Structure 1
C-alpha cells in the first residue's frame, strides 16, 4: 500500500509540474483554448490524485486502527493499566518502520500480562498507524521492556502514544 501511495504522490507531483508548465506556456492564450483547457485538466487531475493519495493513507490508518481495536476486544477480564506503561522516543529503525521503546511496570501483587494499543501520529495529530503490543508475563513489582514497531514505513515526524493498555 505504501508504494501505491508514493506512486500517487509522484503522479500528482508530475501532473502539477506538467500543469504548471502548460499554464506558463499558455498565459497569453485565451480561456477555452486547447492549451488553457489542458492546463486546467492537469490541475484538476493533480488535485484528484493528491486527494486519492490522502484518502488511501487515511484508509490504511483506519484499517490498522480497526484491527488493533479488534485485538483488544479479545482480552477478557483486562483492567485499565495505561498508567503502568511509558514510552520512549520514536525513531526510524533500519527496516524503515517507526519504533518506540515501551516500559511496562507491574504494580500488582501478582504476575500479569499486558496488551497495549499504541497510536503513531504525525505532527498535526493525524493517525498514521495503530498497533497492538502483547507484553508477556511481567512479575509482580517488575518492569518489562519491549519495542513497538509501526506496521509500515511512516514519513515525517512521528509520535507515539498509548491509547489503551489492559492488564490481565
Structure 2
C-alpha cells in the first residue's frame, strides 16, 4: 500500500512539474487535480488502515505528538502513548502532517505496541514523502487495543 501511495505522489509531483513548465493554465489545473487525487489517496489509505483495528477504543487523550524534524528527505515526529490502564496495551495512531496554514500534507499510521500499564512509550511517525516548510504533526485518531 505504501509503495502505491508513494508512486501516486511521485507521479503527481512529476506531472505537476512537467505541466507547470508548459505555462498552460489548463495543464496547471490538471496537475493540481492529479496531486489532489494522490493526496486524497494517502488520507484514504491511512483511514483504511485505522478501520482494520478490531476492538479498539478511542485513546486520543493518551497520545501526543512532539515537534517535527527532518530525517533525510522525510519529516518525522515523536509520538508518545501513555497507558492509563492496569494492563499492557497496543496503540494504533493516525498522524496528520499539516503546513503552517493548516493544509493537509500527508498522513501516516503508526503502531506503538506493548505500552506497560501506567507508563509511556514513544514511536516515530515518518512522512510518506518529502514535505516542505515546517510541517506540524497532529494526532488525527488514536485507538488503544
Q: TM bucket by the smaller chain?
A: 0.7 to 0.9
**Equivalent of 2:54, from 76, 97, 102?**
76
Higher relative contact order (CA 8 A, sep 6+): 2
TM-score, normalised to structure 1, is 0.74
Displacement of 1:91 in angstroms is: 1.7
For normalisation by structure 2, the TM-score amounts to 0.85
Shift of 1:164: 0.6
Aligned residues: 138
1:159–1:57 CA distance, 2 compared to 1 (3 A)? farther
Instruction: Give, in whole Å, the separation in 1 of the partners of 2:89 and 2:140.
Output: 19
Cα deviation, residue 8, structure 1: 3.3
- What residue number does 1:28 align with? none
Please say which of residues 82-91 and 54-63 is displaced more in the overlay. 54-63
Gaps of 5+ in 2: 1-7
Structure 1 residues 64 and 6 mapped into 2: Cα distance closer, same or farther (>3 Å)? closer
User: What residue in structure 2 maps to residue 53 of structure 1?
Assistant: 31
Unmatched segments (≥5 aa) in structure 1: 17-45
Residues of 2 paired with 1:74 and 1:119: CA distance? Answer: 18
Higher helix share: 1
The CA deviation string for residues 86-128 of structure 1, in whole angstroms up to 9 with x for no partner, is: 111112211x111111111111111000000111122332222
**Maintained 8 Å contact 1:113/1:167:** yes
